[in-house]
Amino acid sequence: MTQQPARLCILGGGFGGLYTALHLSQLPWVKQEKPEIILVDRSDRFLFAPLLYELMTGELQTWEIAPPFEELLAGTGVRFHQGTVTSVDLAAKQVQLQDGHALSFDRLVLSLGGETPLDRVPGAAEHALPFRSITDAYRLEERLRVLEESEAEKIRVAIVGAGYSGVELACKLADRLGARGRIRLIEQADQILRTSPDFNREAATKALEARGIWVDLDTGVETIAADTLDLSYKGNVDTIPVDLVLWTVGTRVSDVINALPLKQNARGQIVVTPTLQAVDYPEVFSLGDLVDCQDAEGQQVPATAQAAFQQAEYVGWNLWASLTDRPLLPFRYQHLGEMMALGTDNATLTGLGFKLDGPFAYVARRLAYLYRMPTLEHQVRVGLNWIAQPLRDAIGAIDP
């Protein structure tokens, strides 16, 4: 009787999940050992999240940063299933989906990513917009379009959180709205970009000042209403008028993950071994911002896209090793620096001995992200489009 191939089920198609699937498809499987690989995601598209901000300024198009999974996985042997995970039974080794499908597995990869919590402040769920997904970007685009078409003299935008997402979003929106925009960045701490290198923080501060973005430090949000925002500063509460509130603070794991009998830290992240396996469940691997991970050197791994990108290669290898009786490799994280967009044609980056800001950093950031895009075919398509864009712009400028 022919033995059924093992089934690898990957939940979540972000940097961790998709890149794990792609690495798995490229490993040297012997025919009788090659497993069935299924990638599950609620969206039909992968999102290259670090470039999501460029949609707001029209610098990039949706197809460039959010290609369909079916397109990326064509010819890899990986099967894509669009669906929302409702529960996982580790004992029965089965995943239940909202559409009624049940998927059994021999190995499971958890890469569902985080969610933006909108329940920390009264009114946030009703009146604030998160900025994490393509759907969020579409909702923001629609709100901006309505505001831009209105007769309002100024468009007042409040962004809660002066971390990476808040700062990048503030600069992009300031460049889009121009003199009509009134943008306020609200941060509970005493400085912006608390975990960023000094060079990047200073470059960001200059970019915010140059765009006239008001920064409220040591300031909390008390309540959010349809057109007002209550801010607290040193015991005093002020109410300010707003047209749009964007929420970029915090992340939390999904209820599906919380319900699993896995060791988790105080924030709900899954505690994994250096081989990226769940404690007491060696058949379950996890990566990305979902995990609490210390690497082979004992350093705490940050919950970033850069870390997930690196972890995916190890998870792919370790899945292959676990099915082919080879030793598993402990993850070794390499911090390559950080990059941030600070408006159109402006960015900052530090890493590998380099410090750069301005237009050159903008180009370097684009090239670095082009290299990290998921497949060679997509890299070529996007790269050729970027090369051709200045020519199209020039022709459009002279076309009567």
Model confidence, pTM: 0.91
The structure tokens listed for 42 are 């609620």
Q: Cα separation of 326 and 36, whole Å?
A: 19
Last residue of a domain, one of 201, 231, 247: 247
**What is d(CA 85, CA 17) in angstroms, rounded to the nearest whole number?**
14
CA dihedral 2, 25, 61, 110 (to 10 degrees): 80
Boundary of a domain, candidates 213, 247, 281: 247
- Please give the pLDDT value at position 267: 87
- Supply the CATH number for residue 292's domain: 3.50.50.60
- 115 vs 77, 162, 254, 351, CA distance in Å? 30, 18, 7, 28
Let me know if residue 329 belongs to a domain. no
In whole angstroms, what is the distance from residue 20 CA to residue 14 CA? 10
Interacting residues of 196 by C-beta distance below 8 A, sequence separation 6+? 164, 204, 338, 340
Please give the structure tokens belonging to residue 211. 């765009």
Domain annotation covers residue 73: no
Kindly state whether residues 130 and 242 are assigned to the same domain: yes
Q: Transcribe 166-177 into DSSP letters.
A: HHHHHHHHHHHH
How would you write the pLDDT of the chain (400 residues) with one tens digit per residue?
A: 456 889 999 999 999 999 999 999 999 888 778 899 999 999 999 999 999 999 999 999 999 999 999 999 999 999 999 999 999 999 999 999 999 999 999 999 999 988 888 988 999 999 999 999 999 999 999 999 999 999 999 999 999 999 999 999 999 999 999 999 999 999 999 999 998 899 999 999 999 999 999 999 999 999 999 999 999 998 899 999 999 999 999 888 889 999 999 999 998 899 999 999 999 999 999 999 899 999 999 999 998 889 999 999 999 999 999 999 999 999 999 988 899 999 999 999 998 788 999 999 999 999 999 999 999 999 999 999 998 877 766 666 565 5
- Considering the domain architecture, whether residues 132 and 195 belong to the same structural domain is answered as yes
Does residue 165 form part of some domain? yes
Domain check: are 238 and 256 in the same one?
no
196 in the same domain as 90: no
Within this chain, do residues 90 and 22 fall inside the same structural domain, yes or no?
Answer: yes
159: nearest Cα among 113, 221, 212, 109: 221
Q: What is the largest CA-CA distance in the chain?
A: 75
Distance CA 84, CA 310 (A): 26
pLDDT recorded at residue 305: 87
Q: Domain boundary residue among 232, 247, 262? A: 247
Element (H, E) at 277: strand 277-278
Q: What's the domain count of the chain?
A: 3
Q: Pick from 211, 166, 208, 157: which is nearest to 188 by CA?
A: 166
Measured distance CA(115)–CA(159) in Å, rounded:
17
Which residues span the domain enclosing 34? 7-42+83-114+252-323
Same structural domain, 299 and 241: no
**pLDDT tens per residue across span 100-133:** 999 999 999 999 988 888 988 999 999 999 999 9
Whether 342 and 173 have beta carbons less than 8 Å apart is answered as no
Same domain, 242 and 256: no
| Beta-sheet pairing, 128-130 with 236-241 | unpaired
Domain annotation covers residue 174: yes
Kindly state whether residues 241 and 305 are assigned to the same domain. Answer: no
225 and 130 assigned to the same domain: yes
Q: Is the residue at 128 inside a domain?
A: yes
Query: Do residues 242 and 221 share a domain?
Result: yes
Residue 151 and residue 241 in one domain: yes
**Residues 243-286: tens digit of each pLDDT:** 999 999 988 888 999 999 999 999 889 999 999 999 999 999 99
Q: With 0-12 CB in 10 A as exposed, 13-18 as middle and 19+ as buried, what is 63?
A: middle
DSSP symbols for 95-160: EEETTS-EEE-SEEEE----B----SSTTHHHHEEE-SSHHHHHHHHHHHHHHHHS--S-EEEEEE
- Judged by DSSP in three states, 342 sits in coil
Residue 1, pLDDT score: 41
Q: How far apart are CA 182 and CA 174, in angstroms?
A: 8
Tokens, residue 319: 């899945």
Supply the DSSP symbol for 27.
S
Residue 48 lies in a domain: no
The closest of 125, 209, 129 to 167, measured between CA atoms, is 209
Residue 175 located in a structural domain: yes
Q: Are residues 182 and 219 in the same domain?
A: yes
**190, amino acid identity:** D
